[in-house]
Every structure is written in structure tokens, then in C-alpha cells.
Structure 1
């Protein structure tokens, strides 16, 4: 894309040369003074067109040739440069500034050369040619006070024109370089954000797998024990006893397979660590209070007996929501409401922001999983999650159906 833009930009001087040629011819045909004696205006126009076309490859030399139309015109008897020459005075130095402007940030991979870095030579050459033209015009008018004043004005006007055009070219190039750099940075940041979100999702799914392993392995182990108790009541050698023994064996093999397939995801042994449970919400709230977060807990209903998978995920969501409050809202007053219904468990975390605190943003850094991790947790059970700012605070509400994970 950059090469395509560069090729298109290289055509601009040629397009400008054709445009100036059309304007100059129209000027000669429509101006009675020029049409009566077209030789000098045509010579000045040819100089402008040639210099503009040359500026595409050699901006400094092209600017000097375009500006030479001024002394050519006054030496031929005209009072000053033609309209096409005045336009060329603006375009050629401006193009030199645009082409030779140092890239932003500077490109240190190429050696600096005087001709490539000295884009200021283009307006300087144009200024010298303008000065030569005004001197020739002044010689023709005589060294009177009015003639000297006219020379000074011509010098000032064309000096401001060529140096101003050069500055505009520099500014345009710098703005273009900066826009391209910002576009590249935006693309890189988008890619980095996507990669971080994917990493968060992958890590949270690993945690979900570990927690689900605990829940499923516990349930199967209980089933195996119960089957063993039932089998012990049957006479040995009966078909029923042998069938139950086969089911027990399959259950134990299933637990071993779960340990093999999912246990590798564990980072550290945690058999002696208290397992996550929403029934332990008071302990979690106490830990956050000790960390400096003023949080109040309200519980409606019995939190015991929640299905193991939903129990673990609800605890993790509550833990993440409270951690985000502590991280983003500091010591904001926070309330937690847990509601256990027959078929649904709902948790609400609501914090009030201090007057000087910024609106909290769900975590996306390596220390937490924010809304991405919460959604992954709740999506397993086809639950719902709403989170967003409200006047003076932030609210997170998660709802878990107390059924089988999907």
C-alpha cells in the first residue's frame, strides 16, 4: 500500500505541470496584452511547466527553474511573473518540502545527505530567482524611491510565498507520516488486545476445566461408594452383584481418566486447600475487608446444596467481581447480594464510587479475567451476566440456572 501511494504521489508533479500548461495557455489567449505579444509569456510558461515536471524527480532544481520564470518574464519586458508562474512559485517549493521532509520518527537506516536533507534549498533557490527578477525590474524602472519600494515589496511577497509553501509541504508530510504511524500502532494494539483476550479465555477455560474436574470426580466417587454399599448387601456371585461390580470398576476408571486428562492442567497441588464454594462467600468477603474494601454481604436463601459445578463457578464470579472493585474503585463502599431460589442462584455486586474515583473498567490484564472470564463461566450453564456503569457506581449481576451444565 505504501508503494502504491508513493507511485501515485510521484504523478502529482506531472499532473500539476499539465494543469499549469492549460492555465498558462488560457491566460495568454484571454489576456489581450499577452495575446498581442505571446513570445515572452510563452517562454515564461515553458519555464514553469518544465520546472514543475522536473520537480517530481529533482525538487530543488525544479523549484529553481520554476522561479526562473520571473526573471525571464521581466527581462522580456513584462511587469512581473505570469499567473501560472505565481502558482508555480507556490507548488514547487511546497512539493520539495513534502518530498524531502524527514520521516517521523526519523529513519536512521539511511545515511543523511546534504541534497536529501536540505529541502530548504528549494525555497532559497526560488527566493534568489525572485530577487533576480525584482532587480531586473528595478533596473528597468530606475533607482527611484518608488522603484526601490516596489522591489522591496516584490521580494517580500515572493519570499513569503515560496517559504510559506515550503512550510506547508513540510507540515503535510509530517502529518501524513504521523497518520501512517498511528494507523500502524492502532493495528498493532488491536492485534495485541485480541491476543490478550484469547489468552484470557484460554486461561479461564483451563480454570473451568480444573473446577469441573473436581466437581465431576467428586460426584463419580460418591456414586462408586454408594454402588459398593449396595453390592455388599447382595449375595456374592449373583448377576446383580457382578453387574454392580462392573459399574464400580467403570466408575473408578472414569475418575482415573479424569485425573489423567484434566489433572495435567493443574499448576500446583491443591488437595489440602479449601475448595471454592458460594457457601464460603462470607470468608471471601472477610478477605476483601482485610484488604481494605468495605463490603457488606446479604444472603437470601440456603447456599448449601448448590450443584457442585454451579457452586464453584458462582464463587469464582463473585471473587472476580470483588477483585475488580478493589482494583478499579479502591475503597468504594460495596454491597453483595446472594439470592438462592429453587431453580436459580443470583449474585449482585454493587459499588458506589468515591467522588474523585474514575469509572471502573473490568479487568483485562494478567492479574484477572474481568468480564471475559465471567462470561466464560456463566456461558457453561446458559446463565446471564449484566455489567455496566450506573450514576455514581458500577453493578455486576450474574444468574446461574441450578440445572445441568450445557
Structure 2
């Protein structure tokens, strides 16, 4: 029995009290003592039904008999309505194998009431009348059974709907897993193989050709970047396939020296300034700050060539600030290098996630990018 169903007999008890007080005042043919006695039995049964539905409703059905003992052959209106409701409510909340006891007790009480009336010579309803009216207890019981079956059917439909939803989600996950595996295969076939071949070719060039120290350093950096790219690509493929693969080095400000070494090897003179004491940063902020620096330095190489560049990494109390400032193109503008044109948009999106700010634009000479990541905001991301 649910919590709502437990409140039904308690509310009914309140209405019974009101009926028991008002009915004798509006019906002079009723005996007040008998009405109050029957009402008391009905209220006691309703209160008991909140915890023991069958026992409480059976007790309520004896209210008919209690009124008869005090000279009231027929039940009062409030008691009669309560008895009908009790039969239906018992059928709704208790299994049919036991709830049939309720209308039986009501009919036995009606017969006993007529017998008591005959013995005490109390004018009122005859035995036939009481049996006729008490037979409607069974009708109320059938209505309660129908409501019980309807609720049971609704529960079954609810469980069936939940099972169908779970099955649909399972199918969707299976389709998603298959699609991820397909994408993983395509990524591997289209990109990882080509990058691996390029790395091998760079290794062959470095080992067979006579190169000066500067060119050899650039090729060595490209070869190392290519190997790291292959590892990262395999990690991505592993994620798509839900398989475990060796993880590539995580982008982090702790690896900033490696990033600067790569761009220096590509010909970009860079100076690094670090302010403040480094602190433990949330991983997602650490990665985002690294990516902003990486994108800004890449843009310098792409648009300004080997321009003297200064990188600032500032660890403030409540924020991390990264800044890249270049002196502008050196000599003729560099030839365009492939790019998607969305680097600045991507940097703004990374900073906006943390509620930070990004300032980017030309200076008197050169270009500056300054990003501020609030640390407190990052903790909640």
C-alpha cells in the first residue's frame, strides 16, 4: 500500500466524524446515541485500516450492528456510505483472496441487525430489506476489484515501457559503438598511416643526406613531432574503439620547454618569462592554457615568420595568464602555411569555458595575444 493510499482512510475518518455529529441534528428519526456509536466504530475501523487494511475495513463493517444494538435498525447515511466505500477500498488494496471477507462481514452484520431488531421489537427495516441493501456491498467490492486490475495493468504497461526504453538505449549504444569503431578505422587508415610514412621518410633523409646542423635540427624536431602525432592518433583511435592503448604525453604547461624547443627548431627566436610560483592547476585548465600558447606560437610562425617573440607565463593568486608578443614580420611576408583560419576563434572558446578573457590584436609593431584563466572558475568546470 502506497503512502497516498494510507491517507485515504484517515481522511475518510474525518468525514465520518462530521457526518456523525451533523446527521442526528438534521434527521429527527435517527437515534443520536445509536448514530454516534456506529460512527465511533466506523471511525475506529478507518483509523485501523491505515495500517491494517483488511482488519480495519472488517471492523468498519460492524458499525451497522453497533447501531442496531442501540435501537437503530437501519444504518445512518454516513455509516452506510462508509461501508460501501470500505468494501471498494478493501478490494482495491487487498488481494481478492482475502478482501471478499469485507462484504461478507457487512451482510452478516445486516442479518444480525434484523435479528436484534426482531428480538427487541424495534420498528424498522425487515430482514429482506437489509439483505437487499447489503447485497450492494458486493457491487462496491467488484468496483474496487476493477480499479485494482486497472492499476495492475497500468503498472505492467509502465514496466513494459521502461523495458522498451532500456532496450532502445542498448541498441543505440550498440550502434554508437559500431559507428565509433568505423570512424576509428577510417581515421587510422586515412591519417595515422600517412603520418607514419612521413616520419620514416624524415628518418631516412636524416640518416642518408649530409645536412648542416640547423636543417638537421629542424628535421629532428619534425620527426619527433610526427612520432608524437602518431601516438596521439593511436590514443584517439583507442578511445573510439574503447580499447586501452599507451597514452600520449598529456599537453601541460609543465611541457612548455618542449613546445618552445620545437618552435625554436623551426626558426622562431623565443624568450620565456615566468612570474609567480607555479601551483597545481585543474587538468582541463592546464591543457587549455598550453593549447592557447601552442596556437599563438603557431600563428607567429605562420604569419610573421622568424620574428623575435616573447612568451609570458604568470601564475597569479587567482588566475593564470599566458601572453605571446611578436615584433612583426621579418623581411618579406612569409609564404602562407596551411591552416583552417579558426585559431583565434578556438582560443576564445577555450578561454570562455572558464569565464576568462582573451585580448588579441596588432600592436605598433607585431601582434599580441594575452589570455587570462581564472583559477577559481576552473575548479568548478
**TM value normalised by structure 1:** 0.47
Give TM-score, length-normalised by structure 2. 0.49
Structure number with higher relative contact order (C-alpha < 8 Å, ≥ 6 residues apart): 1
- Decide which structure has the larger Cα Rg and report it: 2
